[in-house]
Amino acid sequence: MKNIRVRFAPSPTGPLHMGGVRTALFNYLFAKQKGGKIILRIEDTDQTRYAPGAESYIKESLTWTGIDFDEGKNGKGDFGPYKQSERKEIYQKYIRELIDKGKAYYAFDTPEDLEKKRKEYEAAGKHFMYNQETRHEMVNSLNMDEDEWKKRIENGEPYVIRFKIPDNVEIKMTDLIRGDISVQSGTLDDKVLMKSDGLPTYHLANIVDDHLMQISHVIRGEEWLPSLPLHYLLYEAFGWERPEFAHLPLILKPTGKGKLSKRDGVKMGFPVFPLEWKDKKTGEIYAGYREEGYFPESFVNLLALVGWNPGTEQEIFTMEELIKLFDLSRVNKSGAKFDPEKTKWFQHQHLQRKSVDELVELFLPILKKKLGYIVQGKAIREYTKKVIELLKERATFVKDFWEQGAFFYVTPEEYDAKTVKKQWKTDTPELMKEVANVLKDIKTWEAAAIKENLSLWINRKGIGFGKVMQPIRLSLVGALKGPDLFVIMEMLGKKETLNRIEKAINKLQNR
């Protein structure tokens, strides 16, 4: 069996959409499972669509996701250069080969000529295609003496090079996901292979590079399926062995209607990009999974299940498991509806799988930023460990530890207005003063002891538990949230607990 070599070949025309990351991921899983190689190739021959910053964005996204390349990363490898703009001479050589074989021809039609033709056809209710029906009536080397087209080229007349699609043949193709497909060559047009600026189009560069880089399997998005017949014909024209092809289903909008777009993300409030992207032209900022707080492993996991399933009920996977289980034959043919609601569930699951120690390491930098000072030392680490143990089960993102537990670190300055209205009655300040006295007398400041003493006092007083506990919670947390109140008190310590109660009495009594 030949060596397995796959490639991910993005064009730096903008940020990498999550669909692009999924293509890279499926290539990666396929290669790793089979002991093959994965190559990164930058397809940047379309200078008009080049977006500054896109190439580094793509590379950073792939690195963040954990998709590692065997070749092409930093341009290294035996089959380079891995950037098409650095391979211009190579394409020149191969286009000449096609011309010499009579498989491609020079076309001198100006944009105006072409527009005129299109209009003529339209007026006759037809659609113009540059193909076997029309090429004889156009300005190209097929309809001229060699002297003439050579002279035109010498005179610097602009031209493109078109592929001569063979007349009336049936092109029979096989796709690893879709099975057998067949197309009549008459339905295809003579695609431009070389533009007037001397740069190849996607089709030529892509085929030449896949061949020279010895790619065994082309795994790419469904939007390239219509190009497959042309690619088959190009391999045939060169007399090269073809790689195998697999076209991945589109990622559809949550409604299932149409392709998932960046606009959907903005409208519905979920990221469609791995990393945040700032559009330099419009200034618009698009959310990224990384910045929203997703772990790369959660992102990889949720992407893997868009259009693929393992055939079991299992939904949570590590990259290693995906490498073992991935199978192209379990990739769906039809478009995969994206479920933005479920993304958080994946993240929640992956956070639950992390140890408290790992989470402490991830949370400390956030804490440092929030507090505005350096958090150092064993004590804060131990304390934070307890905070995370208490909050982990309900947390989805690392940032939730701050959102749900800031009160463990800072005294509340504000109190939730609704709760104050409902829970802080005229007799509450008096009660809180008594509570403070009860707490002051507690010798061992531990949750159990605090609970016992307070309960005893409440029972003796014959009042409802909530009448006391809710205002205490409000004083310590600032809202009616957080874990067990006695545990919170133990964590805060006696002094801080009493301070917060006193502060609440002072701040809330003159409402």
- Shortest distance, CB of residue 193 to ligand GLU, whole angstroms? 15
Residues 431-450 that bind ligand GLU (CB under 6 A): none
Interaction between residue 43 and ligand GLU (CB under 6 A): yes
Interaction between residue 224 and ligand GLU (CB under 6 A): yes
Name the residue nearer to ligand GLU (CB basis): 73 or 507.
Answer: 73
Using CA atoms of 505, 506, 510, 511 in order, give the dihedral in degrees to the nearest 10. -60
- Shortest distance, CB of residue 10 to ligand GLU, whole angstroms? 5
- Shortest distance, CB of residue 206 to ligand GLU, whole angstroms? 5
- Shortest distance, CB of residue 341 to ligand GLU, whole angstroms? 28
Give the one residue of 59, 220, 473, 500 binding ligand GLU; rule: CB under 6 A.
220
Name the residue nearer to ligand GLU (CB basis): 11 or 140.
Answer: 11
| DSSP code, position 235 | H
Burial 461-491 (b: 16+ CB within 10 A, else e): eeeeeeebbbbbbbbbbbbeebbebbbbbbb
- Shortest distance, CB of residue 224 to ligand GLU, whole angstroms? 5
Do residues 297 and 318 make contact, with C-beta atoms less than 8 angstroms apart?
A: yes
Write the burial class of residue 3 (CB in 10 Å: 0-12 exposed, 13-18 middle, 19+ buried): exposed
Q: Interacting stretch for ligand GLU, rule CB under 6 A, among 3-11, 111-119, 174-182, 412-420?
A: 3-11
Given the residues 117, 164, 262, 369, select the one marked as catalytic: 262
Contact characters 268-307, ligand GLU, x per CB under 6 A: ----------------------------------------
Contact characters 176-215, ligand GLU, x per CB under 6 A: ------------------------------x---------
Binding footprint of ligand GLU, residue count (CB under 6 A)? 7
Name the residue nearer to ligand GLU (CB basis): 44 or 190.
Answer: 44
Interaction between residue 12 and ligand GLU (CB under 6 A): no
Name the residue nearer to ligand GLU (CB basis): 135 or 247.
Answer: 247
Interaction between residue 10 and ligand GLU (CB under 6 A): yes
| DSSP code, position 82 | -
Name the amino acid, one letter, at 148: E
What number of residues does the chain have? 511
- Shortest distance, CB of residue 129 to ligand GLU, whole angstroms? 23
> Is residue 386 flagged as an active site residue?
no
Burial 291-314 (b: 16+ CB within 10 A, else e): ebbbbbbbbbbbbbbbbbbbeeee
Tokens of residue 31, six digits = 């290669």
Place of tokens 């930093």: 74
Beta-carbon neighbour count of residue 95 at 10 Å? Answer: 20
Name the residue nearer to ligand GLU (CB basis): 75 or 365.
Answer: 75
- Shortest distance, CB of residue 404 to ligand GLU, whole angstroms? 41
What does each C-alpha distance from 157 to 23, 92, 396, 500 come to in angstroms? 41, 18, 62, 83
Give the one residue of 9, 177, 432, 489 binding ligand GLU; rule: CB under 6 A.
9
Name the residue nearer to ligand GLU (CB basis): 206 or 384.
Answer: 206
**46 beta partners:** none
Residue 331 φ then ψ, to 5°:
-85, 135
Q: Interacting stretch for ligand GLU, rule CB under 6 A, among 6-14, 24-32, 168-176, 342-350?
A: 6-14
Name the residue nearer to ligand GLU (CB basis): 215 or 420.
Answer: 215
Name the residue nearer to ligand GLU (CB basis): 107 or 204.
Answer: 204
Q: Interacting stretch for ligand GLU, rule CB under 6 A, among 7-15, 28-36, 132-140, 501-509?
A: 7-15
- Shortest distance, CB of residue 475 to ligand GLU, whole angstroms? 58
Give Cβ neighbours of residue 63 (< 8 Å, ≥ 6 apart): none
Interaction between residue 238 and ligand GLU (CB under 6 A): no
Tokens of residue 49, six digits = 């669509």
SS3 assignment for 285-333: EECEHHHHCCCHHHHHHHHHCCCECCCCCCCCCCHHHHHHHCCHHHECC
Closest-CA residue to 492 (of 377, 386, 374, 356)? 386
Beta-carbon neighbour count of residue 369 at 10 Å? Answer: 11
Give the one residue of 11, 131, 419, 428 binding ligand GLU; rule: CB under 6 A.
11
Residues that bind ligand GLU (CB under 6 A): 9-11, 43, 206, 220, 224
- Report, as residue numbers or ranges, the catalytic residues: 262
